[in-house]
Amino acid sequence: MIGQPIITKVLLPAWIFEQAKNKDQLKQLALDYMTRYPNYTVKSIKNHFAICVRND
C-alpha cells in the first residue's frame, strides 16, 4: 500500500552466527552485513533473518 512501510526478511549468512560470541557481536555483524542493502533498516533479528523495513 502507498505510504505504509514494507516489512521484509533478509536471510543472514551462517558465518554471522558462527563468528558471534554474544548477542552484541551478533547484532554488530548483522548490521555490518546489512550495509549491502542500503535501502533497508534493520528492526530485529529473529530465526536467522533480519527483519527490515524497506525505505523506497
| pLDDT computed for residue 50 by the predictor | 97
* Residue 9 Cα distances to 26, 29, 47, angstroms: 17, 16, 10
Which cell numbers in the block locate residue 17?
552466527
> Considering the entire predicted model, what is its pTM?
0.83
Cell numbers 555490518: residue: 32
- Taking only Cα atoms into account, the Rg of the chain, rounded to an integer number of angstroms, comes to 12
**Sign for the pseudo-dihedral over CA of 45, 47, 50, 53:** negative
| pLDDT computed for residue 55 by the predictor | 87
For 21-44, the three-class secondary structure string (H helix, E strand, C coil) is CCHHHHHHHHHHHHHHCCCEEEEE
- pLDDT per residue of the chain (56 residues) written in tens, 0 to 9: 567 889 999 999 999 999 999 999 999 999 999 999 999 999 999 999 999 999 87
